[in-house]
Amino acid sequence: MEQQYPLISIVVLNWNGRKIIKRCLDAVFSQTYPNFEVILSDNGSTDGSVEFVRKNYPKVKIIENGRNLGCAEGNNVGMRIAKGKYICNLANDTKPDKNWLMEMFKVIESDKKIGAVGPKLVFMHDPKIINAAGTIATKDGLVRYRGWKEKDVGQYDKVEEVFAVNNVACMYRKKALQDVGLLDPEFFIYNEDADLGWRMRLRGWKSVYVPTAIVQHEVGTTMGKYSEKGAYYAHRNWIWMIIKNFSLSSLILYSPFIIVWNIISVLRGLTRGSLINLIAIKDALKDLPRVLKLRKEIQSKRKIPEWEIRRFMVYPPYFKFILRFLKA
């Protein structure tokens, strides 16, 4: 069985998920794929969820981090001890279909250059609405959810290459992670998966979307629909990500889009009476020496020419409104 079905490690990230962890783990242990291990990486929960898992799911390996390490380092802790040929990251607010693991396995096994595969994420409250069908990259350097809030009528039912996969319920090839490194721990939460997918692509690894691997996702259980903390991490990490991964020519070429998105984000915060996006910009630039050091390392090891990255870069959704304004 090991040869036909190699070990897959599933890292379930948990932080105070007592109310939702049973739903997640029951779905995990109902998988049709026959050979997997489950690692719970707990970010300092205080709600009894660790004790619940230890009592009711004895097969789960539990790592108690003692404090909230965030999505990035919290997942890294589990991935470092994972023994599988492939490693899945799974958020505790998900419910994967019983064939989730098997369907992703079949696709990632089909091509040795596939570094990551991701499922069709649908909303828990309405599985007919898409949460994410992989991700797309826009010319401002943002990596956005493909199909976000679209009704699922089969428009994303084809296995296809995407820019990156969502870390909510994805599968990585261990060799790819050994090649490019794990999630950037400084990101804490948001864009850590996009950054990893981008780094993989620069090294020649593909990311592929698998529509037959379906996962329900209860969006917003960690940070809520909107929070200043979430806006801060998303904006700061986006700046770090584009500095690390864009070529110098792309930073220059796409600078108008980068500037526009900064303005939009700041104005959006101000409408809520918040300066959080300005603080995020300040903090991102404050840490520029560290980020530039990482950039030098990443760019020196890249195998893929920038035109191959640019072919994935589409115009951001606000571009049509800018064109309409200029024509007015």
Residues in the chain: 328
The pLDDT assigned to 320 comes to 76
Least confident of 141-145, 151-155, 225-229, 267-271: 225-229
Buried b (16+ CB within 10 A) or exposed e, 40-65: bbbbebeeebbebbeeebeebebbeb
Cα of first residue to Cα of last residue in the chain, in angstroms, is 65
User: What tokens does 217 get?
Assistant: 């996702």
Average pLDDT, the chain: 95
Question: Cβ(96)–Cβ(215) under 8 Å?
Answer: yes
Could you tell me if 38 and 25 are in contact, meaning their C-beta atoms sit under 8 angstroms apart? yes
Q: Are 28 and 55 in contact (CB under 8 A)?
A: no
User: Can you say how many angstroms the Cα of residue 114 is from the centroid of all Cα atoms in its chain?
Assistant: 16
**Residue closest to 64 by CA, chosen among 82, 89, 84, 46:** 46
* Contact predicate 176/303, CB 8 Å: no
297 pLDDT above the threshold of 80:
yes
pTM: 0.94
73-119 residue pLDDT tens: 999 999 999 999 999 999 999 999 999 999 999 999 999 999 999 99
Q: Give the torsion through C-alpha atoms of 199, 91, 28, 212, to 10 deg.
A: -60
Domains of the chain, by residue range, sit at: 95-328
The mean pLDDT value for 244-255 works out to 97
Residue-level pLDDT at 224: 54
Q: What sections of 57-139 are H helices per DSSP? A: 70-81, 100-108
pLDDT of residue 315: 94
**Beta strand residue intervals within 97-153, DSSP E:** 114-123, 130-132, 135-138, 143-145
pLDDT per residue as tens digits for the range 166-196:
999 999 999 999 999 999 999 999 999 999 9
Whether 200 contacts 116, CB under 8 Å: yes
Mean pLDDT for the stretch of residues 202-226: 87
Residue 218, phi-psi category: left (phi > 0), alpha (psi -120 to 50), beta (remainder): beta
Could you give phi then psi for residue 36, rounded to 5 degrees? -150, 155
Partners of 170 in the β-ladder? 89
The whole-number pLDDT of residue 130 equals 98
